[in-house]
Amino acid sequence: MKINLYKNRPITLHRKHGWLEIDLLVGMAIFGIAILPLTFSFTQERQVLRMEYFHSVAMEIVDGELEVLTAGDWKNFADGSRAYTVHANAADRLPPGHFQLIKNGNHLRLEWNADEHQGIGTVAREITVK
């Protein structure tokens, strides 16, 4: 003996079950479309923050080394341009680059340049010592 479970139910109730799944799919699609641009903006913001971090670390190192130079260490260097070795441990956190000291009389310029263009730019400080 076969029993038909849907015999006494109206047919409209049986067909409404599919609409719940379609509503769920539409809601998930709208949610996905809203979240996708946010993920790209978070990724881009992370890269910008990383470049700003590198820039601030390089600026802090250049400022510190320039203070050491102006305290009297500048007299140990001849006029001209040369690679400059820094003594800060934070320089290990920077991307590959080089520090350069340019001395012209009593005018000093210390700068850091990245080896590859990464959006950081040149970090430089100049001072004229007395």
Condensed to tens digits (0 to 9), the pLDDT of residues 32-46 reads 898 888 888 888 999
* 74 closest CA partner among 98, 105, 100: 105
Q: What is the DSSP letter of 82?
A: E
- Whether 64 and 87 have beta carbons less than 8 Å apart is answered as no
Which residue do the tokens 């470049």 mark?
A: 51
| pLDDT confidence of residue 8 | 61
Domain range annotation of the chain: 11-128
| pLDDT confidence of residue 123 | 93
